[in-house]
Chains A and B, each alone.
Chain A
Amino acid sequence: GIQVEQSPPDLILQEGANSTLRCNFSDSVNNLQWFHQNPWGQLINLFYIPSGTKQNGRLSATTVATERYSLLYISSSQTTDSGVYFCAVEGGESSGDKLTFGTGTRLAVRP
């Protein structure tokens, strides 16, 4: 099945700093989503972005489908940005209609 790798695995930022999270995937995809999982376990959908660039406030994402990677940018980070960020993809010849998740990036933003 399709493989999804995220980097870095852990990230510590000072409040106000910017960061870039990366997601590499091993096959063509028809869906790519970025999620933020809060401390209570809720997976919040940040972006549905199988290709192109999107922005939502301090967050933006870019997916280069031909090169099989996606980037999530967080600007002017806040303590509420802390949590785990997951990239999930759907696609590939043997993957079917299901989301395959990466192992996540654990972000801690210090005040």
Chain B
Amino acid sequence: ETGVTQSPTHLIKTRGQQVTLRCSSQSGHNTVSWYQQALGQGPQFIFQYYREEENGRGNFPPRFSGLQFPNYSSELNVNALELDDSALYLCASSPTVYYGYTFGSGTRLTVV
């Protein structure tokens, strides 16, 4: 069902390192959002981009940053990784707010 692709699927990093997660959305999906899902919890909103500009941010520190590119791809960057950053990271895209969001299959990040 999904036209949203995320890479990599799994990743192991050491505390203090930096990581970049990638997402490729469907053509025409101008809105992309990133979510963090800890084990046993619902996804939590990190931030949203619309036409390459950040237009909303959740309760996450500045070491979580992102980019959206003209080709409907986007990145989530996390600096100075902490053990609590271990989670499933989900990317979601939408053409407009009236069509709902489609999620990718996620990147499972483990910080050791």
Among A40, A86, A99, A103, point to the contact of B33 (Cβ < 8 A): A99
For the complex, give the distance between the alpha carbons of A48 and B98 in Å.
Answer: 9
Interface size bracket, B side:
20 to 34
Say whether B103 faces chain A, with CB atoms less than 8 Å apart.
yes
Cβ of A69 within 8 Å of any chain B Cβ, yes or no, is: no
**For residue A96, which residue of chain B has the nearest CB?**
B56
How would you classify the secondary structure of chain A's contact residues: helix, strand, loop or mixed? strand
Measured between beta carbons, the chain A residues less than 8 angstroms from B99 are 48
Contact, CB under 8 Å: B56 / A33: no
Q: Does B31 touch A at the CB level, under 8 Å?
A: yes
B55 touches A97 (CB 8 A): yes
Contact of B97 among A30, A44, A88, A102 (CB under 8 A): A30
> How far apart are B57's CB and chain A's nearest CB, in angstroms?
9
Complex alpha-carbon distance, A30 and B58, angstroms: 19
Give the chain B neighbours of A30 by CB distance below 8 A: 97-98
Partner pick for B1 among A44, A97, A103, CB 8 A cutoff: A44
A99's contact among B2, B55, B88, B92, by CB below 8 Å, is which?
Answer: B92
A35 pairs with B31, CB closer than 8 A: no
